[in-house]
Amino acid sequence: MEDTLIIESKESNISGELVIVIPGSKNAVLPMLASSVLISNEVVLRNVPFLDDVKNMVLILESLGAKISWERHVLKVNCSNIKDLELSRDFVSKLRASFLVFGPLIVRKGKATIVKPGGCSIGLRKIDIHLDGLRLFGISIEENNVIKGFLKESSPINFYLRFPSVGATEHLLSVASSIKGVSKLENAAIEPEVIDFVNFLKCAGADIKQNNRTFVIKGQDKLSLVDYTIMADRIVAATWIIASIIKKRSLKLYNINPEVLDSFLLVLCECGVDVTLEKDSIHIKLVRELKPFSIKTGPFPAFPSDIQPFMAVLACTIAGESTIEENVFENRFEYVGELRKMGANISLSKNKLVIRGPCNLKGAAVQGTDLRGTAALALASLIADDKTILKGMDVINRGYEDFPFLLKTFGAEVKKMRGEDEYH
């Protein structure tokens, strides 16, 4: 039974600047947990967000025999007694990042079996780049209803990724760190979460050098004890920045390096948003009138695909014509039809959106599908007249902590429903 939120925008009786501390990054911690299979003693991860995706990765590791303790935002993982070589269908089907365990498990134990991973339905997101790279390492792959991998004799690789896939880059980096010899990955992803993952591997003893999109990895016999603090979640930060702008509230975000949001913050500045940056904080000041924008998503350092749904909501508040071109995920616009139900003036042609604002959004019954599209619909509800009934909220718990509470912080009245039951 899926969760539903009933959201009604209210004028907040709280004035002054909002302050939010940004939690750790989901997309950074997941590959770290997956690669902990390669580390025979304890891994300590700090600033870990309490999210469904992280919980599922923990369950996957525990099903393999890992010992894990989780207290507040500190996660301790010990994979010294990994026994099972088959990743459970129940967990893998819920989490795309589960596939990142496949390669490390093969390197550690010589073989592994996994079903094809799940996750958000924002596009094909094939795993063929992962598999092509793994085969070059000497891993034999069999694909039927499940994927089986066997390692007989390993060798380093020189591999050019035909697309800078984040998941494939992380997967191959982790495997290369434990395969003897010098491997090279070219045209690799360089998203901040990838760099954070590289820093984690280095803390564990990996020898990795980077030159733009090229990584050179000298494989080690052993990766060892690591204690690492995860970067802040830049997508969560962007979510609440957009909320502050559309609700015309000043906002101070802490625990966030502004450099990881360069392309996003540049667009906001060009729109007329008053942005002040410090070493570990972002300050958004009250704005009156903004100019329309045009963005094209792409691999980092281009504009992030994960943030574009929020920009569509922002465009609904701006007079004029804004455009969004999506170049990463072919199904990223699934939220558009639901936003139209709320009164958004949006036209979609292939991979390009045109939003003509301002739009007088009204509450409606809408269905969330993927994580960021659902968050965008929740943002739209903050500026809609009347109540919005947002179904499919289960997905929000995959990427956001205390999401209803933060909606309330921005002046919304929020009620939760599961099936026929309503609760606060």
Instruction: Say how far apart CA 384 and CA 246 lie, in whole Å.
Output: 11
Instruction: Say how far apart CA 313 and CA 336 lie, in whole Å.
Output: 10
Element (H, E) at 198: helix 192-203
Contact predicate 307/298, CB 8 Å = no
Instruction: Say how far apart CA 363 and CA 206 lie, in whole Å.
Output: 52
* 3-class DSSP assignment, residue 272: coil
Q: Which amino acid is at 298?
A: G
- Residue 359 among the catalytic residues: no
Element (H, E) at 374: helix 371-381
Main-chain dihedrals φ then ψ at residue 381, nearest 5 degrees: -65, -25
**Residue among 120, 271, 316, 359 flagged as catalytic:** 120
Instruction: Say how far apart CA 219 and CA 206 lie, in whole Å.
Output: 7
Contact predicate 319/325, CB 8 Å = no
Instruction: Say how far apart CA 47 and CA 231 lie, in whole Å.
Output: 8
- Which residues are catalytically annotated? 120
